[in-house]
Copies of this chain bind each other. A is one copy, B any other.
Amino acid sequence: MAKPPTVEDVARIAGVSRQTVSNVLNSPHIVRDETRERVQQAIADLAYRPHAAARRLRTRRSSTIGIHLDPYSGGISGVILDRFVHALTERASERGMRVLIYSARTADEEIARLGDLVDGAEIDAVVITGTFFGDPRTGWLLERDVPFVSFGRPWGGDDVYRPAHTWVDVDGAAGTRTATRHMLATQGARIGFFGWPPDNGTGDDRERGWREAMTDAGASGPRFEAVDGLANAREVMSAAFAEPDVLSELDALVCVSDSHAVGAHLAAADAGRRHLPVIGFDNTPVAEALGISSMEQSPELVAAAVLNLLMGTTGQAVAPRDRDAPPEHVLVEPRLILR
């Protein structure tokens, strides 16, 4: 592309030295008024802008946040992370920050990519997603003293033991508690839960909300489980509904995801019950299209909270060890969207 004007071009047009142009840019008070005005005129005429890379070298700041973009996996629920990235980009832009996305297939690959970006001073801060128990990324980021916030809890001890790990997450248990209470109030006492297999932080948390609401009400209901994926969820529930009385005795079902909810809805229809009340999780376009109620995670609120934690009120990303207040953990409460 055409080379943008340089400081030398400005100097030539203004009839001054390169150093004088630099002085006008960095210490205007030491330059005589008449000279300063001539240089400023040349800067305006040429539409010269100090080069970002030069500014970056001086400041060691890129004003850029890095975020991993998962390989597209298809399916119903992937839209939540995309909504989060959209919202993060908009909010970051309002604060004069840029967002750089990178791909990686494993946590180790992600650490390697982050190493390149941090070494090259190409990013100032990182937002990590898809945290899991024993996640090596958080330890690496803390060790390298890179400012970061995760969308998702550490799901281990380290939210307590490593208070430098700042995170924002959706309060899954609060969501399923709301869903279960709504079903208890409107459908009957026998509310089932359709979850993921246990030992999954997010899934266990969502199941806990259902269990607590049922216990509070002195009610009980069956628990079903399936790994993610609509076809699998439908198959599991079809098998469950083939047992005597399972479907007829069920008042409603609270589900860990929209693909579980859609699978259960279709399996119930296959078994002759067209309108089994179900509530999903994620409020995806699929739930909307089928008229299925769901918990809305509000990834836009998560993005706003992540940026608040990352940038604080200073407008600059702050490394964990430079914080003067303990890091914060924010839970965003999901909303029930009834259909």
Contacts and interface: CB of A to CB of B under 8 A. Distances in A.
Interface in A31-83: 47, 49, 51-57, 60, 62, 64, 69-72, 74-76, 78-79, 82-83
A95 to B, nearest CB: 12
B87 A98 contact: no
Interface residues of A, number: 61
B146 A1 contact: yes
Interface stretch (A188-196, A216-224, A280-288): A280-288
Nearest to A100: B100
Copies of this chain present: 2
Q: Give the secondary structure class of A's interface.
A: mixed
Contacts of A145: 1-2
A90 B109 CA distance: 13
Contacts of A129: none
Given A69-B86, A79-B82, A98-B100, 13 more contacts: A1-B319, A3-B60, A4-B121, A47-B119, A52-B122, A53-B53, A53-B57, A53-B121, A54-B57, A56-B56, A70-B86, A99-B101, A284-B285
The 9 closest A-B pairs by CB, nearest first: A52-B120, A53-B56, A72-B86, A82-B82, A90-B103, A1-B145, A53-B53, A53-B57, A49-B119
21 contacts: A1-B118, A1-B146, A1-B147, A4-B119, A49-B120, A52-B120, A53-B54, A53-B56, A53-B57, A53-B121, A64-B100, A72-B83, A72-B86, A79-B82, A82-B82, A93-B102, A93-B103, A99-B102, A101-B101, A284-B285, A286-B289
